[in-house]
A and B are shown apart, each in its own frame.
Chain A
C-alpha cells in the first residue's frame, strides 16, 4: 500500500515538474526594435551641382533649414540638392551625394546618420584653401559641437561651434586653422543631432586646383586599410600620392605601410618603418611604380593612428585630386549608385564578396567576387542599388567615381547602421530603489 502510494506520489511529482517546466514563461523583456536612423546629405555650395542617389522613388526626405518638417516622397531615385542639406528617412540604403563644378572637379559624399565623433584626415587651410567644414543639425534643439584641429605644427586651438535647431552652418577651414597646410579635424557634438562634412577646395589665384570631399572616418586604429586609391602615370612617370598620417594619442607611433596592387604587395619606397610624432600631422609623399590603375594601402602601427591618401589626378586636361579615406571592414550593406557608374575596389588577403544588384528595371543581378589582395568590379549599367549580401573576413572596399569633371572616392561603409535596441518596458520599479 505504502509502495503504491509512494509510486503515485512520485509520478504526480514528475508530471508536475514536467508541466510546470513547460508552462514556465520565458519572460524576456528583451524585445528589440530595429531601425535605420535618418541620414543627412550635405548641401551644394554656390556654383556647385549636387545630386543624390537614393534607394528608390519611395524614399522619404525633407530639407533641413526649411520650415516644413514633414517628409515628402522623392518620386525619383536621383534628384538635385541645392543650398539646403537634406534628411533622408532611414531605409538601410546608403545614399551618395555627387557634387561637381563643371569642368573643374567632382567629389562624392556618403550621406551619414548623426554620429558622435567624426574624424576628417585631409584638407588644408593654407592660402590655396577654399575648403569648408559643414555642420548640419537635423535635430529639433540647438547643437553644440567641439572641433579639434591638428596640423603639421601640432595640436591647434579648437573651436566650439553652435548650430541652431534644424539648420546648418558652413565654416571656412582657414578660419579654424588659418595657414595650416595639413589638417586633421575631429568633430565631436556635445549635444544635438549633428552630421559633419568637409569639402577641400583649392584655388591658386584664379586657377582651380580641384576639390574633393574628405569623407569622415571612425576612431583611430592600429591597422588601417585605404582601399581603391586611383593611380595613373603621366608620360611614364607615376603620379605622386601623399599619405597623411596622425598619431593623436599620447605616444609617438611606428608605422609600416604595405601597398597592395595587382602587381603584388610591397612596401613603397620611403614608407618602411616610419616614425610619427604624436599630435603632428605628417605627410609622406610616394609615387609607386605599378601598372595597375588602382591600389590600396595597409598601414600598421604600434599606436592608434588616423590616415588618408591625397591623390592628384588629371581629368579632361584639368587637374583634380581625390582624398581616399580609410574604410572599415566590409559588412553587408547597400549603396545607391544611380547614374554614378562607380568602380568597386575590394582589398583583402582573401576576397570573397557576394553582391546583389538591383537594376532600374527592377531586375536583380547577382555576382560573386573572389580573389586575393585587390579586386575591382563595376556594376552593370542602369544599376540602382548595389547590395553586399555576404563578405569574407578582412575585406575592405571603396568605390571610385569618375566623371568628366573629375574623380571621387567613397568608402564602402554604411551611412546608417541598423540600430537594434531593446524595446523599453514600462515598470514602476524604475522609481523605487
Chain B
C-alpha cells in the first residue's frame, strides 16, 4: 500500500484515474499527471473494461490498475478505487478524480491545493476546463443546473478564454474531470450516488456538499484540457441498464434525478411539470430537426423517471440524513430564467447565422503568425460613415428609400382603395375570417378562404397583431424589398455593382411594380419580391435529379407561399416545370433512361403538387372555377388589356401611362439575338409576354361580381420583367470592354438603344412617382363608403348602389353591405348575388319593381343607399315605387329604409304574421314564440342548423332560395353554422404544412456526427 504520509504542504493527494476506452488521450493524461509540479502522492487507475490499449498504456506507465466490469459506472469505479487505499486519518486527505480524456496542466494540482489550504471550509475544488483540441476556448469554470435540467456553465458557446472568468469563486459544483475532493467529506456523504452511473454525478455531489454545510470552489489558475469524450458521443455508454444506453437519455434522466432528489419537497410538483414540459418542447424541436431518436430520448428520460417515484423517495431519504441546511442554499447558483432565455436566444441566433452564413469552423491557434508589436503600433482604421454612401448599393437603396417615402406620402395610415379593401385592425380578425366556416359577406358564403389571409395574420404578430400597420409598412417598403430581392440574385451574373444596382432599381421601378403598389395588388407585390428568388432556385435545379429532397420541399414551401398570394404566379412557375417535364421526356427518348426520367418527373410533380396541397382546400376549390386561377387577391379591377401587356405594362388604374415605354420589351427583343445565355432569359421573357397578352384579353367575373373585368396580368409580367432584367445584365456585363475593343457595329447601336431606353424610362418613372403617381387609388384613411349611422348595427344589410362608368355610358353597380366597407378577404369569399336581388334591383331601375321592396326585405336588406353622385333617374324611380321610405339625404348620398320585416331571422306564425328575431351573426340562442316557420336571410347552405329540444329542425329552401326551418314547438332553439368540415380541413392543412416544413428544414446533426474540433 502506498504510504499515506503527507507531503510538505500537509495534504495527501490520491489521484484516481478512471479509464474507459481512453487510449486516444491517455498518453497525454498520464504524462500530465506525472509532470505535476506538486507531486501526486498516490495515483491509481480504474479501468472499466476497456477494449482498446488503455490497460497496456497504463501498465507501461507503471500506474497501478484496478479492473472493473465494462458496465461499471463512474461512481462505482471511484468507490472501488477508494477501497484499495487506506482509510483517511485526517482532514487533509484529498482525492483527485481524473478522466481518461482530461489532462491537467503541470501546476494545476498546486493551484488547487493552495486554494483549499486557505479555505478549510471547502470540500471540493475544480480546475478551469478548456477544450482538448481548441485550447483557447472555455468549456467549464464551475457548473450548475438550470431549472429545466440543462447543464449550466454560465459561458457563451465557444467562448474564448481571455481570463474574463478568472479567479477563485464559489460554485455549485465542478466537473468530475479534475475534481479535487476532501476524502473525509466524500466518505461522509457516501460518495457519488449509485443511481447516477454517468453524467450529472458532479452536480449532485456539489449540491449535497452545499447542503451538508460545505463549499465548492472553482480555481481558474488550475487549468485542464478536456475532450468530453462521453458527452460528445465519442464513446459508447456502457451502463448496467440497457434502457439507459443512450447519451442524451442518460444525461436528461440524470439531470431530472438530480433536481427531483435534491430540491425542496414543495417545489417538486411544479418541477415535475416543468421537466415534462421542457422535455416535450425539446422533443418537438428535435422532431423538426429530424432527430427522432433525440426526441424519443427527451420524453423517455423524464417519463421513465416519473413513473418510478420510489427511487426518488429513497434517494431523498438518504439525502435527508446528511442535510444540515436547506436545499435552497444552491439557489444562488441556479441561473435565472431570463439568463436561460438569453442563452437560448444566443444559441439559436448563432445556429441561424451559421445556417445562413456558414463559416469554416476555424479556430485561432497559437501558431498563427501575429506580431503583437505590430498590433500596438498600427493605428486602428476608423471607418468614415460618409464613405459608406460611395458604395453604389448603399446610395441607391437610400435614394429609393427617399423616393418611395415621397411617393407614399398619401399612403401613411390605414390603407384601402383600388384592389385593396380595408384591413381589419387586428390579426385575430384576419385569422378568424380565415378559419370561419361562414363568411358574412353580402348574403353569406361558405367558400374556403385563401391562405394568404392566414399568412398576413401570422406576419402581423411581428407588429403586435396590428394587421393594418403591417400592410402600411409593406406598401411603403415594397420597392426596397423588390430591389433587394433582385439585387441578391444579380451577384451571380455580374460583378459590376453599378450594373447590379441599376438593374435592380429598374426592376423596382418597372411598370408592373409601380402599378401593383398604386392599385393595391397584394398578389403581384409578393410575386415581385419572391419571384427573383424562385427564378434563382429554378435555375439551380435544371438538373433536378441532383437536388436533395430537402431542397425540393423547401422550394415547394416558397412556391406555396407564392401560390397562396397569386395563383397566376404559381401557374407561371408550373408552366416552367411542365416545359421542363416535356424536355425530360424528349431527353428520355434520345438517351433512353426511364429511371432517370421517372426520378425527374417525380421531383417536378412534387414541386407542382406540394404548393397546391399547402393551399388546400382553397386551391382545390379553385379547380371548380378555373377562371379564378388567374385572379389575384382583393377586388377584381380591370387590367390594361393585351396591347399594353406587350409593353410589359399591366395597365389599369394607378399604372404608369403607356407612353412611358418600359425598356423590358426592347431588352428582350435585343437579347433574342444574343449568343449568350441572355437568349435563354429572353425566350422565357417573350413567352411570358405572350401569355400575358393572351390572358389580358380575357375577362372573368370574380367572387361577388356579375360581370368580368379585363384580367390583370401583373404576375405574368413580373416574370417577363425578371427575364428582361437578367437578360439585360448578361448583355451589358463586360460589354463596355467588348465594345471598346471592336469597331462601330450594330452591337453599339443596340447597346445604346438599351441603355437609352432604360435611362429614359427611369427618368419618367421617377418623375411620375414624385408627381401623379402619389395620387394612387390606394390611399390612407379614406372615408367609409357607408354613412356612419348605417355602420352602427353590424350585420344589418344595406343594398349599396353607385354610379359607375360603363363602356359606353354610365351604369349602376350594387352590392350588399353588412354594416361596413369591404374588408381584406371579403372579395375573395364573396358570393354571387342572388338572381332575385338582381331582378329586384333591375326593376327598381326601370321603374317596374312594385314588388322589389318585398324581395329585398325577404333577403334581410334593411336599407338601400345610393351613394353620391346620385343617379336622378334611379332616385326618382325608387321614390315612386313605394316600399322604400326615404331615411336621409346627405352629402354622402340618399338612404331609404325598406318596408317590411327585414331581420336576419324571421318567424312567421301559422296565421301568416311575421316578426323579426334578433340573431347574432355567428349563431344565436333564442326563443320561438310558437309553431311556424323560421326563415334565415342567408344563402342556403347545408351546414345551417337549428336545434330545438336536442333535435335538428327540418330544413328546406323557400321561394327565394333561402333556408327555412319548420318549428313545431314553443321554446328555445339554437341557430348555428356547423363548422366541423371546415375545422377538419384546417387541421388537415396544418398537418400538411407541418409535414412540409419538417421535410424542408435542414436536419441537425447528432453530436457523434460533429467533429471533435467543433465540440472541444
Contacts and interface: CB of A to CB of B under 8 A. Distances in A.
A38 B848 contact: yes
Contacts of B820: 431
Given A193-B879, A433-B779, A25 B707 contact: no
Contacts of A191: 879, 886
Nearest to A89: B848
Contacts of A269: none
B496 interface: no
Interface string A1-35: 01001100100110011011101111111100111
Interface in A403-433: 419, 421-433
Nearest to A71: B850
A9 to B, nearest CB: 6
A33 B842 contact: yes
A229 to B, nearest CB: 33
A1 to B, nearest CB: 10
Nearest to B420: A432
A189 interface: yes
B707 A21 contact: no
Contact of A432 (B635, B709, B886): B635
A424 B882 contact: no
Contacts of B697: 20-21, 23-25
A246 to B, nearest CB: 25
Contacts of A29: 707, 804, 806-807, 811, 813
A180 to B, nearest CB: 30
Nearest to B827: A428
A422 B422 CA distance: 29
B694 interface: yes
A424 B694 contact: no
Contact of A429 (B635, B806, B879): B635
Contacts of B676: none
B1000 to A, nearest CB: 36
Contacts of B812: 421-422, 424-425
Contact of B694 (A23, A113, A140, A432): A23
B883 interface: yes
A429 B708 CA distance: 12
Interface in A147-172: 165-166
Contacts of B686: 9
Interface in B819-835: 820-822, 826-827, 830, 832-833
B487 interface: no
B786 interface: yes
Contacts of B802: 430
Contacts of A421: 812, 845-846, 873-874
Interface residues of B, number: 85
Contacts of A331: none
B815 A28 contact: no
Interface stretch (B133-141, B431-439, B698-706, B720-728): B698-706
B706 A427 contact: yes
Nearest to B672: A9
A433 B817 CA distance: 13
Nearest to B694: A20
Nearest to B442: A428
A428 B815 contact: yes
A141 interface: yes
A24 B827 contact: no
B811 A425 contact: yes
Nearest to A420: B846
B5 interface: no
A9 B876 CA distance: 58
A26 B807 contact: yes
B882 A431 contact: no
B642 interface: yes
Interface in B669-705: 672-673, 686, 690, 693-694, 696-699, 702-705
Contact of A5 (B417, B673, B786, B811): B673
B884 interface: yes
B384 to A, nearest CB: 48
A422 B810 contact: yes
Q: Which of B672, B783, B811 has the most CB of A within 10 A?
A: B811
Contacts of A427: 704-707, 804, 813-815
B879 A423 contact: no
A422 B821 contact: no
A123 B777 CA distance: 57
A17 B847 contact: no
B809 A140 contact: no
A28 B804 CA distance: 12
Contacts of A139: 850, 879-883
B705 to A, nearest CB: 5
A141 B807 contact: no
Interface in B640-685: 641-643, 646, 672-673
B672 A5 contact: yes
A103 interface: no
A240 interface: no
Contacts of A20: 642, 693-694, 696-697
A29 B707 CA distance: 6
Nearest to B778: A433
A9 B832 CA distance: 42
B421 A432 contact: yes
A25 B809 contact: no
Nearest to A166: B882
B396 interface: no
Interface in B827-880: 827, 830, 832-833, 837-838, 841-842, 845-848, 850, 853, 867, 873-874, 876, 879-880
Contacts of B693: 16-17, 20
B800 A431 contact: yes
A90 B848 contact: yes
A12 B687 CA distance: 10
Contacts of B638: 27
A75 B995 CA distance: 76
Contacts of A429: 635-637, 705, 813, 815, 822
Contacts of B811: 29-30, 422-425
Contact of B807 (A30, A33, A428): A30
Contacts of A9: 672, 686
B685 to A, nearest CB: 12
Contact of A165 (B416, B800, B882): B882
Contact of B673 (A6, A24, A25, A419): A6
Interface in A108-144: 113-114, 116, 138-141
Nearest to B785: A431
B58 interface: no
A348 interface: no
A37 interface: yes
A164 to B, nearest CB: 11
B869 to A, nearest CB: 14
B84 interface: no
Nearest to A37: B847
A12 to B, nearest CB: 8
B786 A425 contact: no
A221 B646 CA distance: 54
B883 A141 contact: yes
Given A9-B686, A427-B705, A140 B813 contact: no
B873 A430 contact: no
Output the residue of A20, A24, A194, A432 with the most chain B CB within 10 A: A432
A432 B646 contact: no
What 8 pairs across the A-B complex have the smallest Cβ distances?
A140-B882, A193-B880, A139-B882, A426-B833, A30-B806, A422-B811, A428-B704, A20-B642
20 contacts: A16-B694, A24-B642, A24-B697, A27-B708, A27-B709, A37-B846, A139-B882, A139-B883, A166-B882, A191-B879, A421-B873, A422-B806, A422-B845, A424-B842, A425-B812, A426-B837, A429-B813, A431-B785, A431-B817, A433-B417
Interface of B: 416-417, 421-422, 441-442, 635-638, 641-643, 646, 672-673, 686, 690, 693-694, 696-699, 702-710, 777, 779, 782-783, 785-786, 800-802, 804, 806-815, 817, 820-822, 826-827, 830, 832-833, 837-838, 841-842, 845-848, 850, 853, 867, 873-874, 876, 879-886, 899
